[in-house]
Structure 1
Amino acid sequence: MARPTASPADGPRAPHAWYEDVLALLIGTLVVSFGVNLLRQGGALTGGTAGLAFLAHYATGVRFGVAFFLINVPFYWLAYWHLGKAMVLKTFCAVGLVSFFAEMHTVFIHVERIDPFYAALFGNAVLGLGFIVLFRHRASLGGTSILALYLQEHHGIRAGKVQLVIDLLILAASSALVSMPLLVASVAGAVVLNTIVAMNHRPDRYLA
């Protein structure tokens, strides 16, 4: 009889060291904030609390970093009660860093011309890569990503699928603020982002 192939889940889990978590927070938030900068300069949108912050930015002129930080505040209780104090602390730091870095990128980078469709697709792909770095170190960017992680860890519903549904609802709500071509590009970008998350953030594949 053939011996069953060993699963990664059969082995012990090796937790990340504290300095690895610190580096992941810095790298992940830098990557996410760069993706945010691409979306902003292209006039595109995304989902999640970042999408809500973009809506507030486009509708009222409030700075993205300020809106992003404030919108995430009410979601911390879910992380505190269901995902642990350590994740709340990491998420709070991650949200603060993205809010800060998103404003700092504008000091160092200004794109003279960027195609909105390219900005929507590539910007969301960059966001997805940054999310994976944060998720794998038990951090998130608050808001809907906390809800998605909670549903995956407690009810087995894939985080990428949950996030995609939420993102599409947020983008539909933003249709009055952007042109139809830009909305289509933003929806395509949301699909790219959540496909990256769904493929790469799975508890049966990554254990650290």
Structure 2
Amino acid sequence: MSIINALGFWNTNATRHTPVEDVQGIFSGSLVAALGLYVLASAGLLTGSTAGVAFLLHYAMGINFGLAFFLLNLPFFYLSWKQLGMAFTIKTFIAIAITSLLTNIQSQVFQIASIQPAWAALLGGLLLGFGLLALYRHRASLGGVGILGIYMQERFGIRAGLVQLAIDMCVLAAAFFVTTPSVVFYSVLGAVVLNLFLTINHRADRYIAL
């Protein structure tokens, strides 16, 4: 029975996530998010937030995406620590580290030989959305705008997906300086898919992460 309780099986009461639930949720969310980033990268597309800036640095200067993604998120940990607490910050740090590592090794596990940009935008956006949703529901994120979005939703009631969408559009606008308009168009499509998915599904009145 203690094992069942630890895993959270058959529990119909509102309780906090167990450590085992957090481990599987953070790892699964990070894995799915890394897969979404790999799908986008396979089509040469970008996304928003700090991942989008990391893509820009990778495409424009050849900087390793995983390393850039990890380093760009470090400044946001101060906001996370001060406003969202130690537990959220630690879990977010772990999620970013796992996602960065998995993104770097994806091509060694499998390769996407060909994918249409529109399909990559839709699939990559949805995979990122599912990954972020799993992390949000276990009180974690992929840093950057995700931290800001959760803070804005919890502090002011502004949907995290809408906050992220607005900032993502600014990041993708900068992509015009390093890539083609068609790539920017499909990247915007992927960002819209991602953030509308989060706006619809990540709502405090339907699911409260404990």
Query: Any unmatched runs of 5+ in structure 1?
Result: 1-10
By how many angstroms is 1:104 displaced?
1.3
2:121 maps to 1:116: no
- What is residue 193 of structure 2 aligned with on the other side? 192
By how many angstroms is 1:13 displaced?
3.6
- What is residue 137 of structure 2 aligned with on the other side? 136
The worse-fitting range, judged by mean Cα deviation, of 107-116 and 25-34 is 107-116
Secondary structure of the 1:114 match is coil
- What is residue 3 of structure 2 aligned with on the other side? none
2:82 maps to 1:55: no
CA offset digits 1:160-207 (Å, max 9, x no partner): 110100000100011121211111111111110001100111000012
Tell me the distance in 2 between the aligned counterparts of 1:116 and 1:59.
19
- What is residue 163 of structure 1 aligned with on the other side? 164
1:14-163 to 2 correspondences below 5 Å: 14-163=15-164
Secondary structure of the 2:177 match is coil
Alpha-carbon contact 1:95-1:141 (below 8 Å) kept: yes
Query: Any unmatched runs of 5+ in structure 2?
Result: 1-11
Tell me the distance in 1 between the aligned counterparts of 2:122 and 2:63.
24
Moved over 6 A (4+): none
Tell me the distance in 2 between the aligned counterparts of 1:48 and 1:163.
7
CA offset digits 1:38-93 (Å, max 9, x no partner): 11110001001111110111111111100000000000000000000000000000
Aligned residue identity for 1:130: G
Aligned residue identity for 2:128: L
Secondary structure of the 1:140 match is coil
Alpha-carbon contact 1:49-1:143 (below 8 Å) kept: yes
Tell me the distance in 1 between the aligned counterparts of 2:189 and 2:156.
27
Alpha-carbon contact 1:117-1:182 (below 8 Å) kept: no
Aligned residue identity for 2:45: A
- The CA RMSD measured in Å over matched residues stands at 1.2
Alpha-carbon contact 1:175-1:183 (below 8 Å) kept: yes
By how many angstroms is 1:12 displaced?
7.0
Tell me the distance in 2 between the aligned counterparts of 1:12 and 1:76.
32
Identical counterparts, % of pairs:
46
May I ask how many residue pairs the two structures share in their alignment? 198
